[in-house]
A and B are shown apart, each in its own frame.
Chain A
């Protein structure tokens, strides 16, 4: 058997759990979940949400942790090689390229949005944000000026904040898994929880701040989010929305968890660690995020205002509505600063994880060493980020968001589920999951992993292809002046896919698949 290259390892169990939770906790937890819940039946939305978590989220999370650790045992940390060695099939590795391209492309646009959060936190401190937040129209104008989409702002500072954000991300990954990402997560994740609780406490103590509107109070705000409307459960789109939210929130189907888990030791537990990271993500999403944005908005905007806010979506709620809300509170600049700093941290813990698959691919497959792999990946991303910055007004970011942040996820998740349950085989999968496990998964999950999760994902993939991908491919709603930009973005994505396929081919040319007798012996020896 060819002996695998010695790879870096996590320094502690808490480190890897916080890093995976940090990867999962992102802007979607704070901005997407509350809006999805409020729009899709309130408390009733949580029924399909938790069903999706059990049938889709947790099985896929365990699949990625397990496949990642299995790949790491053989010296590989990215989807193409993991698929090849897990299935003994050279062809299937080309399906894994999405697991490298997806997170890298998300990083390219996500980092730019992340930098806006840092900029807004800065402007909260200077008082400029609060001055603009006094009025909704002015606040929107402030945002577009900040983005460089209208006059009146300093785009130079926007670019400086982008450079700082980009540098922070690269600095973290430059120091590796244990010295960079793990240390970063151990500081930022507890900070994020503390900041979240500070804002949560402020929101729940708001009462009814407008004496002329006693009904616009916090309890009614919670009611707006939680009061169930069970009639929504008859709508298949609500179930799809819940499944989609679970998918996005856990960062499954992107490839980052595969790579993170590849730095585990062979005997490290994946079941309890995976469940812990799920619980931390849900704590942030349902309890902290669910108690901030909707109740706060309700208290100041009332029920009619909420309808308008919902139309703007989670992004406007975070960037436009929340500063307006803070402008009504004593010391609002401080809470606005905390809010944007918290979102920046949530974004940063996710974006560093997005860089790791590409870095691991270059390092594992071409043996360039971590630092050179980081520099190469950073150089590519830095150039690519500028297409997003320049093409923002032409829909480049939205186009990349759809393919990398929505469609690729479901495709890769489906491929992983089928490979794990059917090609790798449920017997091997079950044994591999429980190797070194601190707890045993209930037997029902064996059936879920083999039958339910792949079926659920195939339905999700089919529905989304029909409802979303086809209209996007046909460029429905794209302004005539943006068509060339959108086409250019697609061609660039296609070029990246072809290039990565070629790199995978070159990396594996003449390389035999590793002997799996070793892991057969290991799994036969398991008592689970």
Chain B
């Protein structure tokens, strides 16, 4: 895989995992899960 491929895959995966983590952490912190 090229450097460009790695960068795009890492950014995409990071954005998705980051969004999911943010959502669940916010819900857990708010006691609303």
* Residues of B with C-beta under 8 A to A128: none
Complex: chain B residue closest to A287, CB-CB: B13
* Residues of B with C-beta under 8 A to A219: 1
Q: Helix, strand, loop or mixed for chain B's interface?
A: helix
How far apart sit A14 and B23, CA to CA, in the bound complex (Å)? 12
Q: Is the CB of B20 within 8 A of A226?
A: no
Q: How many of chain A's residues touch chain B, expressed as a range?
A: 20 to 34
Complex: chain B residue closest to A230, CB-CB: B4
How far apart sit A14 and B13, CA to CA, in the bound complex (Å)? 23
How far apart sit A222 and B13, CA to CA, in the bound complex (Å)? 13
Choice from A14, A50, A227 contacting B1 with Cβ under 8 Å: A227
A-B contact count (CB 8 A): 70
Q: Is the CB of B8 within 8 A of A438?
A: no
A-B interface, 6 closest residue pairs, ranked by CB to CB distance from nearest: A43-B8, A223-B1, A279-B20, A226-B5, A276-B23, A227-B5
Assess whether A282 is interfacial by the CB under 8 Å rule.
Answer: yes
Q: A43-B5, A219-B1, A223-B1 are in contact. Are A275 and B12 (CB under 8 A)?
A: no
Q: Is the CB of B23 within 8 A of A222?
A: no
Assess whether A384 is interfacial by the CB under 8 Å rule.
Answer: no
Choice from A42, A46, A272, A287 contacting B23 with Cβ under 8 Å: A272
- Interface of B toward A, CB cutoff 8 Å: 1-2, 4-9, 12-13, 15-17, 19-20, 23-24, 26-27, 30, 32-33
Tell me, rounded to whole Å, the shortest Cβ–Cβ distance linking B2 to chain A.
5
* Residues of A with C-beta under 8 A to B2: 223, 227-228
Those of A286-300 within 8 Å (CB) of chain B: 286-287
How far apart sit A13 and B32, CA to CA, in the bound complex (Å)? 7
Assess whether A64 is interfacial by the CB under 8 Å rule.
Answer: no
Tell me, rounded to whole Å, the shortest Cβ–Cβ distance linking A90 to chain B.
38
Tell me, rounded to whole Å, the shortest Cβ–Cβ distance linking A373 to chain B.
31
Q: Is the CB of B26 within 8 A of A438?
A: yes
Tell me, rounded to whole Å, the shortest Cβ–Cβ distance linking A167 to chain B.
33
How far apart sit A276 and B23, CA to CA, in the bound complex (Å)? 6
Q: Is the CB of B20 within 8 A of A228?
A: no
How far apart sit A287 and B24, CA to CA, in the bound complex (Å)? 18
How far apart sit A373 and B20, CA to CA, in the bound complex (Å)? 36
Assess whether A432 is interfacial by the CB under 8 Å rule.
Answer: no
Choice from A227, A269, A278 contacting B32 with Cβ under 8 Å: A269
